Structure 1
Amino acid sequence: MDDLDWSDLRYALAIGNAGSLAGAARQLGVNHTTVLRRLDALEQHLNARLFERLRSGYQPTEAGTAVLEQARRMGDRADEIERLVLGRDRELTGLLRVTTAFVVMEHLLPKPLAAFARAYPQIEVEVVENAFLVDLSRRHADQAQNWAGLEADVALRLSASVAEHLVGRQLGMTHCRVYALRGAPDLPQGVVPLPELVRDVPWIAFERDAQARVYDRWMRSQLANANVRIRVDIFNAMAAMMHTGVGVGVLPTFMEPKHPQLVAVSDIIPELSVPVWMLTHPDLRRTARVRAFMQDVGDGVAQLLRAN
């Protein structure tokens, strides 16, 4: 038997993930007929039917399930090899992908990121604003014509805990207080005990069912009986609504410089103090551009955190 073509397995795996030829074609950035042709070639090579063609979609046969399992292992191994190669990259050039939350991008990253871009003009930084910690060791096959598209090289996260397989540094702590529109006649203008704020003042809160963040869980428990007028999903929306004077809300203290119209009406809330982490995969930390970014931008963000 001739050697098995890894690229044919890539097509089979895309079909298995998508459940259809059309879905696989979209993932791989090719046309429908190309996917079918490559699947036919693989089945002929293996002398086995890998998928049942059903009205509901392509369902793996017993042989197909075994092939897909091995293909996923091969894909993971290919990812590992690529990370090891990237990890030995000593050039201060190329693309560096960073994932973070919207509020971090707006308030903590701009100045350090701009300084880094000026210092390393051959490094192109791509920032993905994402509120969820991605697994930097995983790569996905749903990026057109890019089997090993890396989701991110570096993650900047507000999180009490991080995945054990990632490495990096804690840059500092973020703290939160309750804020109100400065001069609003129906809202407090000085520090008030938190129980009184919860009891007496209208609130802007996060979505009722949100539980992913420490802030979501705190609001769910502390504001259960509060007068909540508006619910939003992110801190930037919270601040925008607070500027209307409709209620008070919780914000990280590092947002204060961009919102001088808001005044703090509570002390720091200890339960909402969260570390800021800069993280990468162990195989990538030796990459020159990753190392430079984590050092220079990390130092810049740490300095901003100390000032707030």
Structure 2
Amino acid sequence: MLDWENLRHFLAVARTGTLSGAARDLQVDHATVSRRLAALEAGLQAPLVERLPRSCRLTPLGVSVFEQAKTMEAAAFAIERQTRASHEPVSGKVSLSAPPVLTTHLLAGRLADFRAAYPGIRLSVSAQARAVSLTRREADVALRLVRPSESSSVVRKLGQMPFALYASLDYPALRNPRDWTFIAYDAQFADMPQQRWLLELAGPRPVGCELSDISSHFAAARAGAGVAGLPCFLGDADAGLVRLEHEGAAFSRDIWLVVHRDLRRSAPVRAVMDFLSEVVAGHGAFGSASE
């Protein structure tokens, strides 16, 4: 009988393409991944991975085993989800993945309210820009700014997050739009919708600095570094910023709530979903889900 832990480590190597990447994903050391992979190959009496200087490449057999192992992994996670969903008490740990801007500036300030309402639930919130896999149990519930497409997930639109241009009240060019310089994202986020919107509004005017996340844009705008495109719920709440009039289209991001279909009736998960819906619906800066 194959050791599932060995297969789990092999799956991580196959997905990341390196032993070190697999170690980071599994939160173990490099030697553990190497040992688990070697044990699996020894048990099968066949090589699954070709170890190259900077990467790992699956052998033809490794490709076949990878596909079958993914099916086994999905079945294992399904058993976990179904077992968990059958537990009725509103208690236990629920993991939530949400965009950093919503985690830092919206949800963190409401966690005391959640704790008071559901003292038996340990809510673990991870601020992540990437879309995590609910099928692989990387999170139980997720908030996303792009509509999820996984067939195994249940999706609901909670509202819209409008953006606008903001600058510090002390920004020297505040009253001279032709002299504005802009705070944009760095090259790795070139395809992000708010980056395209901001650069379209900027036109020939220069980008003064590039930062990788909205919280940094917010801090830079407050410090007078230039004009930033910020969510209105964040910019309007700060007395040191002013919303700027501009030509061009308005812009917003949809907020989506997503849960794996096997967990949607779990009492703790249901409580977290209701909490998220209430937070978004109760904030005046977010548009309604029907918009």
Q: Report the CA distance between 1:60 and its aligned residue.
A: 4.6
Letter in 1 for 2:103: M
Residue of structure 1 equivalent to 2:130: 132
Q: Which deviations, in whole Å up to 9, do the C-alpha atoms of 1:161-184 show, x marking residues without a partner? A: 332533243222211221221144
Q: Is the 8 A contact 2:217 2:228 kept in 1?
A: yes
SS of 1:163 mapped into structure 2: coil
Residue of structure 1 equivalent to 2:74: 76
Q: Which deviations, in whole Å up to 9, do the C-alpha atoms of 1:255-275 show, x marking residues without a partner? A: 135421111122697541222
Residue of structure 2 equivalent to 1:255: 234
Q: Report the CA distance between 1:128 and its aligned residue.
A: 0.8
Letter in 1 for 2:131: L
Q: Is the 8 A contact 2:208 2:226 kept in 1?
A: yes
C-alpha distance in 1 between matches for 2:94 and 2:197: 35
Q: How does 1:112-261 map to 2 (within 5 A)?
A: 112-137=110-135, 139=136, 150-159=137-146, 161-165=147-151, 166-188=153-175, 197=177, 199-208=178-187, 210-256=189-235, 258-261=237-240
Aligned CA distance change for structure 1 residues 262 and 285 (closer, same or farther; 3 Å): same
Q: Is the 8 A contact 1:176 1:268 kept in 2?
A: no
Q: Is the 8 A contact 2:171 2:226 kept in 1?
A: no
Q: How does 1:103-118 map to 2 (within 5 A)?
A: 103-118=101-116
Q: Report the CA distance between 1:292 and its aligned residue.
A: 0.7
Residue of structure 2 equivalent to 1:49: 46
Letter in 2 for 1:233: S
C-alpha distance in 2 between matches for 1:167 and 1:231: 36
Q: Which moved more, 1:206-215 or 1:29-38?
A: 29-38
Letter in 2 for 1:50: P
Aligned CA distance change for structure 1 residues 210 and 11 (closer, same or farther; 3 Å): closer
Residue of structure 1 equivalent to 2:282: 303
C-alpha distance in 2 between matches for 1:20 and 1:301: 40
Letter in 2 for 1:42: G
Q: How many residues align?
A: 282
Q: Where do 4+ consecutive residues of structure 1 move more than 6 Å?
A: 18-26
Residue of structure 2 equivalent to 1:265: 244
Q: Is the 8 A contact 2:264 2:270 kept in 1?
A: yes
Q: Is the 8 A contact 2:184 2:228 kept in 1?
A: yes
C-alpha distance in 2 between matches for 1:55 and 1:15: 13
Q: Is the 8 A contact 1:9 1:42 kept in 2?
A: no
Q: Is the 8 A contact 1:51 1:64 kept in 2?
A: yes
SS of 2:89 mapped into structure 1: coil
Letter in 2 for 1:35: R
C-alpha distance in 2 between matches for 1:17 and 1:270: 40
Residue of structure 2 equivalent to 1:35: 36
SS of 2:189 mapped into structure 1: coil
**TM-score, L = length of structure 1:** 0.77
Q: Which moved more, 1:101-110 or 1:297-306?
A: 297-306
Aligned CA distance change for structure 1 residues 129 and 5 (closer, same or farther; 3 Å): closer
Q: Report the CA distance between 1:279 and its aligned residue.
A: 1.6
How much is the aligned-residue C-alpha RMSD, in angstroms? Answer: 3.2
